[in-house]
Amino acid sequence: MGLVEEYLPAMAMFGLQVTYAIMALLSRAALLKGMSPRVFVVYRQAIATLFIAPIAYFSRSKSRRLSLDLKSFSLIFLAALVGATMNQNVYFEGVFLAGSSMATAMTNLIPAVTFVIATMVGMESLKMRSLRSMAKMGGTVICVSGAMCMALLRGPKLLNSSLGFGMKSSIFSVESGSPHAWLLGSLCVFGSCCCWSIWLILQVPASASYPDNLSLSAWMCLFATIQSMIVTLLVEPMKVETWKIHSTIEVICYLFSGIVGSGIAFFLQAWCVSKRGPVFSAMFNPLCTIVTTILAAIILHEEIFTGSLVGGVAVIIGLYVVLWGKAKDYVKEEHGGKRAVEKEEEDCESASTDRSSSKIGLEEPLLFEGGTHQIDS
């Protein structure tokens, strides 16, 4: 039994990444069938709200029920706007324009982008003589370079020919899969990564103000549903046809992404983070890229280009370099189950007698513990 418990978090993360891959493929297939990305986000958040809200309400004790004051409301509303509404709308537009394999590969940028933003706002510290700090910076550069390679240097085609779906984006008026769509889709997914990174950082004050994480997620899903509906009404034509379900795959996509992608995935992600920490969770992200790329080429016949492959590999390498540089911030104690932040790696210079008097303060994590469940992809 002990052996099963030891490998259970890894098995859960493997299943979670496969779930995200299936969700990316389902959404791509439904988008090519005519589903609107904006309407998809509305339905997904609404289903997620209906799934999470009852669980959040009945699972908390009367002594832990919190009131939603103005500060908490503002923080949760902003987190929902950035992390769900803006994030998901631009992400699924990118999935439609550039493909599911491209989108999942680009999401590996999130730890690097989060590190850059966290450093800018003072939540991350850098020591130029520290090997791990240099790894964080070097990994970020590799990630960004790989993303630029994916977006700008498509290169020779490796697999599949152009399918010519002829579907056009209602916002950019370009055909899915065309060179212009590829670049616009890449920019959309990169914008989604930036939104997701900002959302991770916003989780710090939001969770401090409203510490019930399950109720916090329910409120965010509710606010995101309302916000996404307003965005859809402003962007999409005011027609009943826009809100109609056109195919069975749309129904499957709505239910799967709402219940499994935004509901069950939250519990698995939060449980894995509590057991092994956020770095362990982030290490499995490239698995989603690999599974999605293979299945997209086989099932959806998505085109695979040399530049995309090289850039995707560079992004994954950069991700692991950043995670290695960040790993010292997450050390799980052998007894008690709490994560402690260790001292920053020793400087390259020899230790002086004053070293014992200088202690490194607590740092905010790169991937916030209470908010690593994916509500965007």
280-333 pLDDT tens trace = 777 888 888 888 888 888 888 787 778 888 888 999 999 898 888 877 665 443
Burial class (CB in 10 A: 0-12, 13-18, 19+), 94: buried
pLDDT bin (cut points 50, 70, 90) of residue 376 is very low
Q: Average pLDDT of 206-226?
A: 88
pLDDT over threshold 90, residue 228: yes
DSSP secondary structure string, 162-207? ------B-TTT--BTTSHHHHHHHHHHHHHHHHHHHHHHHHHHHHH
pLDDT given at position 224: 93
Q: Which residues contact 334 (CB under 8 A, 6 or more apart)?
A: none
pLDDT given at position 129: 78
Q: 339 vs 360, which has greater pLDDT?
A: 339
pLDDT bin (cut points 50, 70, 90) of residue 2 is low
pLDDT over threshold 60, residue 337: no
pLDDT over threshold 70, residue 166: no
pLDDT bin (cut points 50, 70, 90) of residue 161 is low
Strand pairing of 339-340 and 304-305? unpaired
Query: What is this structure's pTM?
Result: 0.78
Q: 336 vs 223, which has greater pLDDT?
A: 223
pLDDT given at position 276: 76
Phi, psi of 262 (to 5 degrees): -110, -15
pLDDT given at position 47: 93
Look over the chain and give the mean of its residue pLDDT values, rounded to a whole number: 78
Inter-residue contact 227 to 88 (CB < 8 Å): no
pLDDT given at position 194: 92
pLDDT over threshold 50, residue 336: no
- Which alpha helices (DSSP H) does 37-178 contain, by range? 37-59, 70-80, 87-98, 100-106, 110-120, 131-152
Q: 179 vs 345, which has greater pLDDT?
A: 179
pLDDT given at position 171: 67
Distances (CA, A) of 46 to 84, 256, 259: 12, 13, 10
pLDDT over threshold 70, residue 356: no
pLDDT over threshold 80, residue 346: no
**Which tokens hold the place of 371?**
């908010």
Q: What is the pLDDT of residues 46-92, one digit of tens each?
A: 999 999 899 888 887 665 667 788 999 999 999 999 988 999 999 99
Distance CA 216, CA 206 (A): 8
pLDDT over threshold 60, residue 374: no
pLDDT given at position 169: 64
Q: What is the pLDDT of residues 97-139, one digit of tens each?
A: 888 888 888 888 888 888 888 888 887 777 777 888 888 889 8
